[in-house]
Amino acid sequence: MSYRIATIAGDGIGPEVTEATVRVLDALLGPDVLMFEWLDGGAGHYQKTGEVLPAETLAACRDSHAILHGAAGLPGVTYDDGTEVGNDLHLKLRFGLDLYANVRPIRLLPGVESPLRHHQPGTIDYVIVRENTEGLYASRGAGVVLRDEMASDSLVITRKGTERVARFACELSRRRQGAPRDGKHRVTVCDKANILRSYAFFRRVCDQVSVDFDDIERDYAYVDAMTVHLVKRPDFYDVIVAENLFGDIISDLGAATVGGMGVSPSAELGDRHGLFQGAHGSAPDIAGQDAANPIATLLSGAMMLEWLASGHHDERLSLAAERFRLAIDKVLEAGLHRPREFGGQAGCRVFTEAVLDQLGRT
Protein backbone atom coordinates (compact mmCIF):
# COMPACT_ATOMS: atom_id res chain seq x y z
CA MET A 1 0.00 0.00 0.00
CA SER A 2 1.14 3.57 -0.62
CA TYR A 3 0.07 6.75 1.14
CA ARG A 4 -0.70 10.21 -0.21
CA ILE A 5 0.73 12.90 2.04
CA ALA A 6 -0.71 16.39 1.53
CA THR A 7 2.29 18.62 2.21
CA ILE A 8 1.98 22.33 2.97
CA ALA A 9 5.34 23.97 3.62
CA GLY A 10 3.85 27.39 4.49
CA ASP A 11 5.81 30.45 5.65
CA GLY A 12 8.91 31.47 7.59
CA ILE A 13 10.86 28.40 8.65
CA GLY A 14 8.01 26.19 7.38
CA PRO A 15 9.67 25.31 4.04
CA GLU A 16 13.05 24.53 5.70
CA VAL A 17 11.67 22.14 8.32
CA THR A 18 9.19 20.54 5.91
CA GLU A 19 11.88 19.84 3.33
CA ALA A 20 14.10 18.33 6.06
CA THR A 21 11.28 16.02 7.17
CA VAL A 22 10.33 14.94 3.66
CA ARG A 23 13.99 14.07 2.93
CA VAL A 24 14.19 11.82 5.98
CA LEU A 25 10.79 10.20 5.35
CA ASP A 26 11.84 9.55 1.75
CA ALA A 27 15.08 7.97 2.90
CA LEU A 28 13.19 5.77 5.37
CA LEU A 29 10.49 4.44 3.08
CA GLY A 30 11.08 5.51 -0.52
CA PRO A 31 8.72 7.11 -3.03
CA ASP A 32 6.67 3.96 -3.54
CA VAL A 33 5.35 4.08 0.02
CA LEU A 34 4.95 7.81 0.71
CA MET A 35 3.85 10.14 -2.09
CA PHE A 36 4.19 13.80 -1.17
CA GLU A 37 1.86 16.25 -2.85
CA TRP A 38 3.17 19.80 -2.39
CA LEU A 39 0.35 22.28 -1.87
CA ASP A 40 -0.08 26.04 -1.65
CA GLY A 41 -1.20 27.84 1.47
CA GLY A 42 -0.16 30.29 4.15
CA ALA A 43 0.29 34.03 4.67
CA GLY A 44 2.65 34.43 1.68
CA HIS A 45 0.10 32.72 -0.55
CA TYR A 46 -2.61 35.02 0.86
CA GLN A 47 -0.53 38.07 -0.08
CA LYS A 48 -0.38 36.86 -3.69
CA THR A 49 -3.91 35.53 -4.09
CA GLY A 50 -6.13 36.65 -1.19
CA GLU A 51 -6.54 33.04 -0.03
CA VAL A 52 -4.73 31.47 2.92
CA LEU A 53 -6.08 27.96 2.30
CA PRO A 54 -7.07 27.49 -1.35
CA ALA A 55 -10.05 25.21 -1.99
CA GLU A 56 -7.79 22.79 -3.94
CA THR A 57 -5.47 22.48 -0.95
CA LEU A 58 -8.35 21.76 1.43
CA ALA A 59 -9.74 19.18 -1.02
CA ALA A 60 -6.32 17.52 -1.39
CA CYS A 61 -5.96 17.39 2.40
CA ARG A 62 -9.39 15.81 2.69
CA ASP A 63 -8.47 13.18 0.10
CA SER A 64 -5.01 12.39 1.47
CA HIS A 65 -3.99 9.73 3.98
CA ALA A 66 -2.23 12.33 6.17
CA ILE A 67 -1.22 15.99 6.13
CA LEU A 68 2.27 17.28 6.81
CA HIS A 69 2.65 20.98 7.52
CA GLY A 70 5.61 23.26 8.28
CA ALA A 71 4.17 26.46 9.75
CA ALA A 72 2.15 29.44 8.58
CA GLY A 73 2.15 33.15 9.38
CA LEU A 74 4.08 36.30 8.53
CA PRO A 75 4.37 39.40 10.70
CA GLY A 76 2.16 42.22 9.48
CA VAL A 77 -0.01 39.97 7.31
CA THR A 78 -3.25 40.54 9.17
CA TYR A 79 -6.95 40.93 8.52
CA ASP A 80 -8.66 44.29 9.03
CA ASP A 81 -9.62 43.22 12.58
CA GLY A 82 -5.92 42.87 13.48
CA THR A 83 -5.85 39.06 13.75
CA GLU A 84 -3.13 37.14 11.91
CA VAL A 85 -3.93 35.58 8.56
CA GLY A 86 -1.43 32.70 8.88
CA ASN A 87 -3.20 31.10 11.83
CA ASP A 88 -6.25 30.62 9.66
CA LEU A 89 -4.53 27.94 7.62
CA HIS A 90 -4.50 25.39 10.41
CA LEU A 91 -7.65 26.73 12.08
CA LYS A 92 -9.56 26.12 8.84
CA LEU A 93 -8.05 22.63 8.60
CA ARG A 94 -8.83 21.91 12.26
CA PHE A 95 -12.46 22.96 11.95
CA GLY A 96 -12.95 21.72 8.36
CA LEU A 97 -11.53 18.25 9.02
CA ASP A 98 -12.70 18.06 12.65
CA LEU A 99 -9.23 17.49 14.11
CA TYR A 100 -10.38 17.53 17.71
CA ALA A 101 -7.37 16.14 19.59
CA ASN A 102 -4.14 18.10 19.43
CA VAL A 103 -1.53 15.71 20.81
CA ARG A 104 1.65 17.38 22.06
CA PRO A 105 4.26 15.10 23.60
CA ILE A 106 6.70 16.82 25.96
CA ARG A 107 9.76 14.60 26.30
CA LEU A 108 13.28 15.45 27.34
CA LEU A 109 15.48 13.90 24.66
CA PRO A 110 18.92 12.41 25.27
CA GLY A 111 21.73 14.93 24.98
CA VAL A 112 19.38 17.88 25.52
CA GLU A 113 19.79 20.03 28.59
CA SER A 114 16.59 21.07 30.35
CA PRO A 115 16.56 24.56 31.88
CA LEU A 116 15.13 22.75 34.92
CA ARG A 117 18.07 21.65 37.05
CA HIS A 118 18.11 17.98 38.12
CA HIS A 119 16.00 16.80 35.21
CA GLN A 120 17.51 14.14 32.97
CA PRO A 121 16.04 12.34 29.95
CA GLY A 122 13.38 9.98 31.22
CA THR A 123 12.15 12.31 33.95
CA ILE A 124 10.08 14.57 31.70
CA ASP A 125 7.79 12.53 29.51
CA TYR A 126 4.14 13.50 29.32
CA VAL A 127 1.57 14.36 26.66
CA ILE A 128 -0.70 17.37 26.52
CA VAL A 129 -3.98 16.65 24.74
CA ARG A 130 -5.34 20.01 23.75
CA GLU A 131 -9.00 20.18 22.75
CA ASN A 132 -8.67 21.60 19.26
CA THR A 133 -12.06 22.60 17.87
CA GLU A 134 -13.85 24.56 20.58
CA GLY A 135 -13.00 26.45 23.78
CA LEU A 136 -12.15 30.12 23.42
CA TYR A 137 -10.79 29.71 19.89
CA ALA A 138 -14.19 28.52 18.65
CA SER A 139 -15.05 32.22 18.48
CA ARG A 140 -12.33 32.95 15.94
CA GLY A 141 -13.76 35.49 13.49
CA ALA A 142 -17.02 35.85 15.43
CA GLY A 143 -16.06 38.07 18.36
CA VAL A 144 -17.74 41.43 18.74
CA VAL A 145 -16.14 44.84 18.96
CA LEU A 146 -18.77 47.40 19.89
CA ARG A 147 -18.40 51.12 19.10
CA ASP A 148 -14.66 50.73 19.67
CA GLU A 149 -15.50 50.68 23.38
CA MET A 150 -15.85 47.02 24.26
CA ALA A 151 -14.91 43.63 22.83
CA SER A 152 -15.99 40.07 23.60
CA ASP A 153 -15.34 36.50 22.45
CA SER A 154 -17.30 33.50 23.72
CA LEU A 155 -15.88 30.35 25.27
CA VAL A 156 -17.66 27.29 23.87
CA ILE A 157 -17.62 23.93 25.64
CA THR A 158 -19.90 21.16 24.41
CA ARG A 159 -20.60 17.78 25.95
CA LYS A 160 -19.76 15.99 22.70
CA GLY A 161 -16.49 17.90 22.20
CA THR A 162 -15.38 17.32 25.78
CA GLU A 163 -16.38 13.68 25.91
CA ARG A 164 -14.42 12.75 22.82
CA VAL A 165 -11.23 14.53 23.84
CA ALA A 166 -11.43 13.18 27.42
CA ARG A 167 -11.90 9.66 26.07
CA PHE A 168 -8.96 10.16 23.72
CA ALA A 169 -6.77 11.25 26.67
CA CYS A 170 -7.76 8.23 28.79
CA GLU A 171 -7.14 5.79 25.94
CA LEU A 172 -3.76 7.40 25.30
CA SER A 173 -2.80 7.06 28.97
CA ARG A 174 -3.66 3.35 28.81
CA ARG A 175 -1.16 2.84 25.98
CA ARG A 176 1.66 4.67 27.79
CA GLN A 177 4.06 3.62 30.53
CA GLY A 178 2.61 5.99 33.16
CA ALA A 179 4.19 9.03 34.79
CA PRO A 180 7.99 8.94 35.18
CA ARG A 181 7.74 9.64 38.93
CA ASP A 182 5.64 6.63 39.94
CA GLY A 183 4.64 4.72 36.80
CA LYS A 184 0.96 5.61 37.40
CA HIS A 185 -1.42 6.02 34.51
CA ARG A 186 -2.87 9.42 35.23
CA VAL A 187 -5.05 11.90 33.36
CA THR A 188 -4.88 15.44 34.68
CA VAL A 189 -7.74 17.76 33.75
CA CYS A 190 -6.42 21.30 33.36
CA ASP A 191 -9.07 24.00 33.66
CA LYS A 192 -10.27 26.96 35.69
CA ALA A 193 -13.30 25.20 37.17
CA ASN A 194 -13.14 27.33 40.30
CA ILE A 195 -13.97 30.51 38.36
CA LEU A 196 -16.08 29.83 35.27
CA ARG A 197 -19.12 27.61 34.74
CA SER A 198 -17.86 26.53 31.33
CA TYR A 199 -14.69 25.07 32.88
CA ALA A 200 -16.65 23.46 35.72
CA PHE A 201 -18.77 21.78 33.02
CA PHE A 202 -15.59 20.70 31.17
CA ARG A 203 -14.33 19.08 34.39
CA ARG A 204 -17.66 17.40 35.12
CA VAL A 205 -17.86 15.84 31.66
CA CYS A 206 -14.22 14.64 31.93
CA ASP A 207 -15.14 13.06 35.26
CA GLN A 208 -18.12 11.30 33.74
CA VAL A 209 -15.94 9.86 30.96
CA SER A 210 -13.29 8.69 33.42
CA VAL A 211 -15.81 6.34 35.08
CA ASP A 212 -15.07 3.94 32.20
CA PHE A 213 -11.34 4.07 32.99
CA ASP A 214 -10.99 3.02 36.60
CA ASP A 215 -7.42 1.82 35.93
CA ILE A 216 -6.40 5.46 35.37
CA GLU A 217 -5.86 7.92 38.20
CA ARG A 218 -7.92 11.12 37.96
CA ASP A 219 -6.13 14.33 38.73
CA TYR A 220 -6.99 18.03 38.42
CA ALA A 221 -5.06 21.28 38.18
CA TYR A 222 -6.16 24.86 37.69
CA VAL A 223 -4.23 26.28 34.77
CA ASP A 224 -2.40 28.89 36.84
CA ALA A 225 -1.17 26.23 39.26
CA MET A 226 -0.30 24.04 36.28
CA THR A 227 2.32 26.53 35.11
CA VAL A 228 4.04 26.03 38.48
CA HIS A 229 3.68 22.23 38.52
CA LEU A 230 5.11 21.82 35.02
CA VAL A 231 8.26 23.59 36.19
CA LYS A 232 8.54 22.11 39.70
CA ARG A 233 7.34 18.53 39.22
CA PRO A 234 7.04 17.66 35.52
CA ASP A 235 7.79 13.99 36.31
CA PHE A 236 4.36 13.69 37.99
CA TYR A 237 2.50 14.00 34.67
CA ASP A 238 1.42 11.32 32.23
CA VAL A 239 -1.43 12.80 30.13
CA ILE A 240 -2.93 16.26 30.56
CA VAL A 241 -6.23 17.21 28.90
CA ALA A 242 -7.00 20.90 28.50
CA GLU A 243 -9.35 23.35 26.85
CA ASN A 244 -8.02 24.83 23.57
CA LEU A 245 -6.50 28.13 24.81
CA PHE A 246 -5.07 26.63 28.00
CA GLY A 247 -3.62 23.71 26.02
CA ASP A 248 -1.98 26.18 23.63
CA ILE A 249 -0.32 28.07 26.46
CA ILE A 250 0.85 25.18 28.62
CA SER A 251 2.28 23.32 25.64
CA ASP A 252 4.66 26.23 24.90
CA LEU A 253 5.69 26.19 28.56
CA GLY A 254 6.21 22.42 28.41
CA ALA A 255 8.30 22.82 25.22
CA ALA A 256 10.55 25.31 26.96
CA THR A 257 11.27 22.80 29.74
CA VAL A 258 12.61 20.25 27.23
CA GLY A 259 14.78 22.55 25.11
CA GLY A 260 12.54 24.95 23.20
CA MET A 261 9.89 25.22 20.53
CA GLY A 262 12.06 23.45 18.00
CA VAL A 263 11.83 20.06 19.74
CA SER A 264 8.12 19.94 20.34
CA PRO A 265 6.07 17.90 17.83
CA SER A 266 2.32 17.77 17.41
CA ALA A 267 -0.36 15.62 15.86
CA GLU A 268 -3.85 17.00 15.30
CA LEU A 269 -6.18 14.07 15.03
CA GLY A 270 -9.80 13.47 14.21
CA ASP A 271 -11.61 10.22 13.58
CA ARG A 272 -10.61 10.27 9.90
CA HIS A 273 -7.86 12.81 9.36
CA GLY A 274 -4.49 13.64 10.87
CA LEU A 275 -2.32 16.75 10.50
CA PHE A 276 1.29 16.70 11.66
CA GLN A 277 3.46 19.74 12.32
CA GLY A 278 5.86 21.10 14.93
CA ALA A 279 4.08 22.82 17.82
CA HIS A 280 5.93 26.04 16.95
CA GLY A 281 4.93 28.86 14.62
CA SER A 282 6.74 30.13 11.53
CA ALA A 283 9.52 31.80 13.61
CA PRO A 284 10.02 34.70 11.17
CA ASP A 285 12.87 36.01 13.32
CA ILE A 286 15.10 33.11 12.22
CA ALA A 287 13.60 32.24 8.81
CA GLY A 288 15.90 31.87 5.81
CA GLN A 289 19.06 31.64 7.95
CA ASP A 290 19.25 27.84 8.21
CA ALA A 291 18.90 28.41 11.97
CA ALA A 292 15.68 26.45 12.56
CA ASN A 293 15.75 23.35 14.66
CA PRO A 294 13.99 20.70 12.53
CA ILE A 295 13.49 18.21 15.40
CA ALA A 296 9.87 19.26 16.12
CA THR A 297 8.81 18.64 12.53
CA LEU A 298 10.96 15.51 12.22
CA LEU A 299 9.28 14.04 15.31
CA SER A 300 5.89 15.08 13.94
CA GLY A 301 6.81 13.06 10.84
CA ALA A 302 7.54 10.07 13.08
CA MET A 303 4.14 10.56 14.78
CA MET A 304 2.56 10.58 11.32
CA LEU A 305 4.14 7.21 10.51
CA GLU A 306 2.92 5.75 13.77
CA TRP A 307 -0.61 7.04 13.25
CA LEU A 308 -0.74 5.69 9.69
CA ALA A 309 0.75 2.39 10.89
CA SER A 310 -1.96 1.87 13.48
CA GLY A 311 -4.79 2.99 11.20
CA HIS A 312 -3.68 0.74 8.33
CA HIS A 313 -2.05 -2.08 10.31
CA ASP A 314 1.17 -1.49 8.40
CA GLU A 315 4.21 -2.71 10.29
CA ARG A 316 6.61 -1.14 7.76
CA LEU A 317 5.54 2.26 9.02
CA SER A 318 5.78 1.50 12.74
CA LEU A 319 9.29 0.09 12.23
CA ALA A 320 10.25 3.18 10.23
CA ALA A 321 8.89 5.45 12.99
CA GLU A 322 11.02 3.63 15.54
CA ARG A 323 14.16 3.93 13.37
CA PHE A 324 13.39 7.60 12.81
CA ARG A 325 13.16 8.36 16.55
CA LEU A 326 16.22 6.33 17.36
CA ALA A 327 18.27 8.14 14.70
CA ILE A 328 17.34 11.53 16.19
CA ASP A 329 18.16 10.29 19.71
CA LYS A 330 21.54 8.95 18.54
CA VAL A 331 22.53 12.19 16.82
CA LEU A 332 21.62 14.19 19.92
CA GLU A 333 23.36 11.74 22.23
CA ALA A 334 26.58 11.87 20.22
CA GLY A 335 26.56 15.65 20.70
CA LEU A 336 28.51 16.40 17.50
CA HIS A 337 25.67 18.26 15.82
CA ARG A 338 23.98 20.36 18.46
CA PRO A 339 21.16 22.46 16.97
CA ARG A 340 21.67 26.20 17.11
CA GLU A 341 18.56 26.47 19.28
CA PHE A 342 20.54 24.70 22.05
CA GLY A 343 23.58 26.93 21.59
CA GLY A 344 25.30 24.55 19.15
CA GLN A 345 26.51 25.09 15.57
CA ALA A 346 24.22 22.79 13.60
CA GLY A 347 21.78 24.50 11.29
CA CYS A 348 18.68 22.83 9.92
CA ARG A 349 20.58 21.27 7.00
CA VAL A 350 23.53 19.91 8.98
CA PHE A 351 21.28 18.38 11.60
CA THR A 352 19.14 16.76 8.92
CA GLU A 353 22.25 15.39 7.16
CA ALA A 354 23.40 13.94 10.47
CA VAL A 355 20.06 12.13 10.90
CA LEU A 356 20.29 10.81 7.33
CA ASP A 357 23.89 9.62 7.97
CA GLN A 358 22.79 7.92 11.14
CA LEU A 359 20.00 6.13 9.28
CA GLY A 360 22.52 5.01 6.69
CA ARG A 361 24.54 3.34 9.42
CA THR A 362 21.68 1.42 11.06
Residues 6 or more apart in contact with residue 117 via CB below 8 angstroms: none
Among 56, 285, 333, 357, binds ligand ATP (CB under 6 A): 285
Output DSSP code: residue 108.
Answer: P
137 part of the active site:
yes
224 part of the active site:
yes
Among 173, 257, 293, 300, binds ligand ATP (CB under 6 A): 293
Among 281, 301, 323, 338, binds ligand ATP (CB under 6 A): 281
**What does the alpha-carbon distance between residue 340 and residue 196 come to, in Å, rounded to a whole number?**
42
Catalytic position from the list 100, 137, 199, 237: 137
Q: Minimum distance between the CB of residue 348 and ligand ATP, rounded to whole angstroms? A: 8
Among 6, 93, 286, 321, binds ligand ATP (CB under 6 A): 286
Residue 125 DSSP SS3: strand
Among 61, 165, 166, 296, binds ligand ATP (CB under 6 A): 296
Residues 6 or more apart in contact with residue 220 via CB below 8 angstroms: 188, 189, 190, 191, 193, 203
Output DSSP code: residue 244.
Answer: H
Identify which range of 217-225, 281-289, 298-306, 307-315 contacts ligand ATP by CB under 6 A. Answer: 281-289
Residues 6 or more apart in contact with residue 42 via CB below 8 angstroms: 8, 9, 10, 11, 14, 52, 72, 73, 74, 86, 89, 282
Hey, which residues between 340 and 359 contact ligand ATP (CB under 6 A)?
341
Residues 6 or more apart in contact with residue 101 via CB below 8 angstroms: 129, 130, 131, 132, 164, 165, 168, 169, 268, 269, 270
Q: Is residue 323 near ligand ATP by the rule CB under 6 A?
A: no
Hey, which residues between 212 and 271 contact ligand ATP (CB under 6 A)?
260-262
Q: Are 3 and 49 contacting, i.e. CB atoms less than 8 angstroms apart?
A: no
Q: Minimum distance between the CB of residue 73 and ligand ATP, rounded to whole angstroms? A: 5
Residue 252 φ/ψ, nearest 5 degrees: -65, -40
Q: Minimum distance between the CB of residue 299 and ligand ATP, rounded to whole angstroms? A: 11
Amino acid at 214: D
Contact letters (x/-) for ligand ATP, 159-198, by CB under 6 A? Answer: ----------------------------------------
Q: Is residue 112 near ligand ATP by the rule CB under 6 A?
A: no
Output DSSP code: residue 339.
Answer: B
Among 282, 300, 352, 358, binds ligand ATP (CB under 6 A): 282
Q: Which is nearer to ligand ATP, 129 or 286 (CB)?
A: 286
Q: Is residue 130 near ligand ATP by the rule CB under 6 A?
A: no
For every residue of 307-322, DSSP letters joined together read: HHHHHHT-HHHHHHHH
Hey, which residues between 63 and 102 contact ligand ATP (CB under 6 A)?
73
Q: Active-site residue numbers?
A: 137, 192, 224, 248, 252
- The residues of the shown chain that bind ligand ATP, judged by CB under 6 A, are 13, 73, 260-262, 278, 280-283, 285-286, 292-293, 296, 341
